[in-house]
Structure 1
C-alpha cells in the first residue's frame, strides 16, 4: 500500500521525536518526551478544530521536533538568552520539518506555509497561526501547568497563566475552561484572570 505524503511525513516526524533521550511518564507508560508532546498537540488540534488544514496538522506534530538538540543551557540564562533560544528553536524546528516535507514530496509552497506556521508568524492576524497558538496553549494548560505549579510561586504562576491566556483567541479561552483542572489550579487560573 502506497503511503500518502502526509503519512510519510508523520512517520518521519514521529521517528525523529522518538529519539528524544528525555522521557516522560504518562498513565504509567514511559514515552520519549517530544514524541508525547507531538501526539498531544495533534490530538488536541483534531479535537479543537477537526477541519484543520494539512499544513496546520503537520505544524502541530512538528512544533517541538528534536527540541532537545538545542538546550536552554547553551544560551545565557537571562531574558535576552531565553528569547534568542526560543527564536533559534523556531527556525530549527521549521528547517528540520522542511527537510522531511521535501523528502515526502510536498510542494515548495506547502513547505513554506508549514515553516510560516511553526515560526508563529503574524500571530493574532493569521487565523492558522492563531489556531496553532491556541492548541499550544491548551496543551500547556492541560498537561504542563502542573509541573510549573510545583516549581514557581503564585505570583510567577499568575503571570505565566495571564501571558498564556493573552495569546489565545476567544474560542481558545472557552475550550481552556472545559479542561479538567485540579481545584487548586482552577482557582489559580481564576485568580490570575480576575474571574
Structure 2
C-alpha cells in the first residue's frame, strides 16, 4: 500500500471511529458527530498552517481527539488535579487508539511512535512538530 493510500485509509478509519460520537455539533445547518467535525477542522487548519506537514503530523492532527467521548470529564474529580489527570488519560487513550489503527494498516513502528509522541504532546516548545500541533489545536479551538 502506498503512503498516500495508507494516509487515506487511516483518515477513513479515524472517520469511522469518530462517526460514533454521540455528541453533535451543528455547522452550516448540518449536524455532525462532534469529534468527526473537529478532526476535519484540524486537518483543514493544518493544511493551511503547515502545508508541508509530515505524514506523522497529518495523521496526528486527524486523530487528535479520536473517540474522546469514551472518557468522560466527569469520571474524574471536578478540580484542577482531576482535570489534569483526565487530560493525561486522554493523551494515552488517543495514542493507543491511533496506534491500533495505524498498525492495522501497516504503518511502520517509526511512524506509529512519532504519532504517539505527538499525541502525548511531548517536548512542547522544544519539538517543532509538537509545537505546530499545539498551534493548530489553538487555532481550531
Partner of 2:124: 123
CA distance in 2, matches of 1:40, 1:6: 17
Q: How does 1:162-177 map to 2 (within 5 A)?
A: none
Please state how far the C-alpha of 1:34 moved relative to its aligned partner.
Answer: 0.1
Please state how far the C-alpha of 1:69 moved relative to its aligned partner.
Answer: 0.1
The question of 1:60 aligning with 2:61 is answered: yes
Please state how far the C-alpha of 1:5 moved relative to its aligned partner.
Answer: 1.1
CA distance in 2, matches of 1:4, 1:87: 31
Quick check: which has more Rg, 1 or 2? Answer: 1
Structure possessing the higher relative contact order (Cα contacts under 8 Å, 6 or more residues apart): 2
How does the TM-score come out when normalised to structure 2? 0.97
Please state how far the C-alpha of 1:7 moved relative to its aligned partner.
Answer: 1.2
Partner of 1:26: 27
> Where in structure 2 are there 5+ consecutive unaligned residues?
none
- Number of residues of Structure 1 aligned to a counterpart in Structure 2: 139
Partner of 1:38: 39
SS in 1 for 2:123: coil
SS in 1 for 2:112: helix
The question of 1:70 aligning with 2:71 is answered: yes
CA distance in 1, matches of 2:37, 2:85: 25
SS in 2 for 1:21: coil
How does the TM-score come out when normalised to structure 1? 0.70
Query: Which aligned segments of 4 or more residues in structure 1 are displaced greater than 4 angstroms?
Result: none
State the Cα deviation string for residues 121-174 of structure 1 (Å, max 9, x = none): 00000000000000000001xxxxxxxxxxxxxxxxxxxxxxxxxxxxxxxxxx
Please state how far the C-alpha of 1:4 moved relative to its aligned partner.
Answer: 1.3
Partner of 1:12: 13
CA distance in 2, matches of 1:26, 1:7: 24
Partner of 2:98: 97
Please state how far the C-alpha of 1:116 moved relative to its aligned partner.
Answer: 0.1
Partner of 2:52: 51
